[in-house]
Structure 1
Amino acid sequence: MVPKIVLITGGNRGIGRGFVELYLARPNHTIIVANRDPEHPTSKSLADLPKAEGTKLLVVKNDATVPTDAADMVRHLASLGIDHLDIVLANAGVCKLWCKVSEVTAEQIQDHVTPNIFGFIWLYQATLPLLKKASKPMWVTNGSSAAFLTVTDIIQNMTPMKNAAYAPTKLVLHWYTKAIHIEEPEITAFPIDPGWVQTDIGNRGADSFGMEKAAITVDQSVQGMIKVIDIATRETHSGKMWVWDGTESAW
């Protein structure tokens, strides 16, 4: 049986690591973790995670701020015999501050645009040929309710956030993912909001708003999201906005 090959960016911590743990527990998978420093202790520690029978882990370099890294990564994967990708989880991203539109600087916006938007585009363009070689390719974008424009129950239940640097980049990623769905009819592509998760970023955000911690655990988030991914098809999920609990959301 040909292993299912899953590429997860930013898989050494937070939500990405949660996905890595779940996929490694599935037999006959090849899990590729791409992050900016494969030698970092958080990257090295991935080797100690339990693996199901026939499942293996590869950790490769992809710095989302370096224009050539994604293409270099794909060439490296080819040298390791990786000839297709079944699923790409575009999870990596940064959120460095929470500020109002009246306060944010161009430099602060750019600090988020480069890794969150440009890094996304470089990753997609580099991996697209490998996705097209899979029988049922899937692209999943780590989205965010911080970028929702339509009022929903989710937004009404959340503390209003000053998010002028990070949220707009997520809105752009939602648009690009919808465009991927339209442009590539063989690919199942959709964004999914992981919720307000108890990661380093999520808890720093909670602290900045006087809250003890974010709303849900990493395990709750990734368990919910992987259920969505498992059942997703081009007909049922592609080109739509999803939430970690399995519900479809307005954009």
Structure 2
Amino acid sequence: MAQVYLVTGANRGLGKAIVETYLARSDVTVIAAVRDPKASTSKALESLPKGKGSKILLVKIDSSVAGDPAAAIKDIQAAGITHIDTVIANAGISDDFTPVTKVSIDAFQRHMDVNGYGTLYLIQAVDPLLAKSQNPKFVAVGSALGSISGMEQRAQMPSAAYGPSKAVVHWLIRKLHFENPGLTAFCVDPGWVQTDMGYFGAKTFGMEKPPTTVEECVKGMVSVIDSASREKSGGHNLVWDGSEFPW
């Protein structure tokens, strides 16, 4: 049975690189979820190099829109896809770096809508198709900034909007692991990467650029995802380099 991957936030940064990596393999279907399938960056995904027998399907998922994931699943099924093996919940925002005493309610809510609620919408929508996979995996992009027990390791970075939204993601994924014995659910922290989001953070803190390249990060993330099993990875907060960060 051909492997089917669904990647959200697929037309830029890490998402695009993940799509490109899997699409280059033979006999895979990559479902690229984007906010606007008509955008030039989205359409460009269809021209990416493909392995023998592989194909790509664009679907609309705006993580801030509650009904988008369920509507996308209907489109996926209409295209003849009957199962999904791996979901990579990559879409997210991080555009506010203020402390708890200064963060605006609007920024807090915006991050929670996209990162927190968006992940829950996706989990619930893909569940029926993941259940039809022989080895289903749900992978969410996590963050050290969402860690509670490891907070002292990132205490110098104000992230009162982004951090709590990722803490919600962490909780959902860990609980998903315990509630679904047939599913491998875990988080992967990409670290600080040279994407648009990463460069925004670097500029905010007076740095030239983030330390990790997209290529290096995605190579590590894909390796972690490919080798993941419920026994060794399920319910864990992993890092792109294969290490683990506390919840």
TM-score (normalised: structure 1): 0.95
Secondary structure (helix, strand or coil) at the match of 1:18 reads helix
Question: Shift of the alpha carbon at 1:159?
Answer: 8.1
What is the rounded CA distance, in whole Å, between the counterparts of 2:93 and 2:48 in structure 1?
25
What is the rounded CA distance, in whole Å, between the counterparts of 1:101 and 1:135 in structure 2?
44
What is the rounded CA distance, in whole Å, between the counterparts of 1:234 and 1:151 in structure 2?
23
What is the rounded CA distance, in whole Å, between the counterparts of 1:70 and 1:34 in structure 2?
9
1:58 is aligned to 57
What is the rounded CA distance, in whole Å, between the counterparts of 2:54 and 2:64 in structure 1?
30
1:195 is aligned to 191
1:216 is aligned to 212
Q: Does 1:136 align with 2:131?
A: no
Uncovered stretches (5+) of structure 2, i.e. residues with no partner: none
Question: Shift of the alpha carbon at 1:168?
Answer: 0.8
Amino acid at match of 1:232: A
Q: Does 1:15 align with 2:21?
A: no
Map 1:82-161 to 2 at 5 A.
82-151=81-150, 156=153, 160-161=156-157
What is the rounded CA distance, in whole Å, between the counterparts of 2:122 and 2:226 in structure 1?
22
Secondary structure (helix, strand or coil) at the match of 2:107 reads helix
- After superposition, the C-alpha distances for 1:139-194 in whole angstroms (9 at most, x for unaligned) are 00000111122348xx74x6821111111100110110000000010000000100
TM-score (normalised: structure 2): 0.97
What is the rounded CA distance, in whole Å, between the counterparts of 2:135 and 2:175 in structure 1?
18
CA RMSD of aligned residues (A): 1.3
Amino acid at match of 2:179: E
Identity of aligned residues (%): 45
Q: Does 1:36 align with 2:32?
A: no
What is the rounded CA distance, in whole Å, between the counterparts of 2:66 and 2:205 in structure 1?
34
Q: Does 1:232 align with 2:231?
A: no
2:177 is aligned to 181
Mean Cα deviation higher: 110-119 or 143-152:
143-152
Secondary structure (helix, strand or coil) at the match of 2:6 reads strand
- After superposition, the C-alpha distances for 1:8-60 in whole angstroms (9 at most, x for unaligned) are 00010001011011101111100000111011111011122111101101111
CA contact (8 A) 2:4 2:31 kept: yes
- Aligned length in residues: 247
Amino acid at match of 2:185: A
- After superposition, the C-alpha distances for 1:172-231 in whole angstroms (9 at most, x for unaligned) are 101100000000100000001001011111110011000001110111111001111111
What is the rounded CA distance, in whole Å, between the counterparts of 1:159 and 1:83 in structure 2?
45
